Amino acid sequence: MRTKGLNLLSAGIAAIALGAPVQAETVIAALGDSLTQGYGLVQEHGFVPQLEAWLIAEGEDVRLINAGVSGDTTAGGLARVDWTLTDDVDAMIVALGGNDLLRAIPPEASRANLDGILKAASTRNIPVLLIGLSAPGNYGPDYKTAFDAIYPELAEEYGALYVESFLGALQAEADQGAALRQFMQSDGIHPNADGVEKIVAALGPQVRALIAQVE
């Protein structure tokens, strides 16, 4: 893992003097939209705080940065990726594209934006967990085919970890009507605190795999 400046150096010197092993905190930036930001929830119930708490409970020395912005598109993510990836960031979660679909942005534009985000991470040797999603059928088969291919193809190209859907744990519920009532807010788009907890339990192991990739 990369050295984290004077604070880590001082801690390391103290640890060596005491004969203790040096362990550095892993910092993960979560770049996303309202699902990442925690729309409609009190702060501690949002995705990033719940995921951080889950990882710490699993024994990880980790800190997560909430880089989610409600309403953000892949273009917005690309515009702010450089200042999101500060020197202390070790890894990144990318969960963008839902608002591209809502605005019917051409798939080639979304692909170019996500490619730019992954390229920025790759240039800095920062491992990425890319979270995808599928287009609805109402834009036509060509649009859906082109959009759905973006995430797995870019993940393969850049060697990123890949998860098919942020809401996959909820979409896997047998009774979707009951899942909507139990795990979603009244807008039917954003998960409630219980829904986020279920999402975190499903994504957590993949984030631990991301942490394992940090050099």
Under a CB-based contact definition with an 8 Å cutoff, are residues 55 and 38 in contact?
no
> Could you confirm whether 122 is annotated as catalytic?
no
Out of 33, 34, 90, 165, which one is annotated catalytic? 34
* pLDDT at residue number 15: 42
Poorest-pLDDT segment among 1-5, 57-61, 87-91, 148-152 = 1-5
> Per DSSP, what are the bridge partners of residue 68?
32
Query: Strand ranges (DSSP E) for the chain?
Result: 26-32, 62-68, 91-95, 128-131, 161-163
Architecture field, domain 26-212: 3-Layer(aba) Sandwich (3.40)
Q: Report domain extents, the chain.
A: 26-212
* pLDDT at residue number 24: 73
Residue that has been written with the tokens 């702060």 in this structure: 43
User: How far is Cα 152 from Cα 165, in angstroms, rounded to an integer?
Assistant: 11
DSSP code for 45: G
Query: Token pair for residue 118?
Result: 């992954």
The mean pLDDT value of the chain amounts to: 91
Out of 87, 110, 187, 194, which one is annotated catalytic? 187
> Could you confirm whether 115 is annotated as catalytic?
no
As a whole-number percent, the residues of the chain with pLDDT over 90 amount to 85
Instruction: Find the mean pLDDT for residues 147-163.
Output: 98
Poorest-pLDDT segment among 9-23, 94-108, 177-191, 197-211 = 9-23
* pLDDT at residue number 17: 47
> Could you confirm whether 186 is annotated as catalytic?
no
Q: Indicate whether 150 pLDDT > 80.
A: yes
In total, the chain counts a number of residues equal to 215
User: How far is Cα 33 from Cα 22, in angstroms, rounded to an integer?
Assistant: 35
Interior/surface letters 155-184, b for 16+ CB within 10 angstroms, e for the rest: beebebbbbebbbebbeeeeeeeebeeebb
As a whole-number percent, the residues of the chain with pLDDT over 70 amount to 89
DSSP code for 190: S
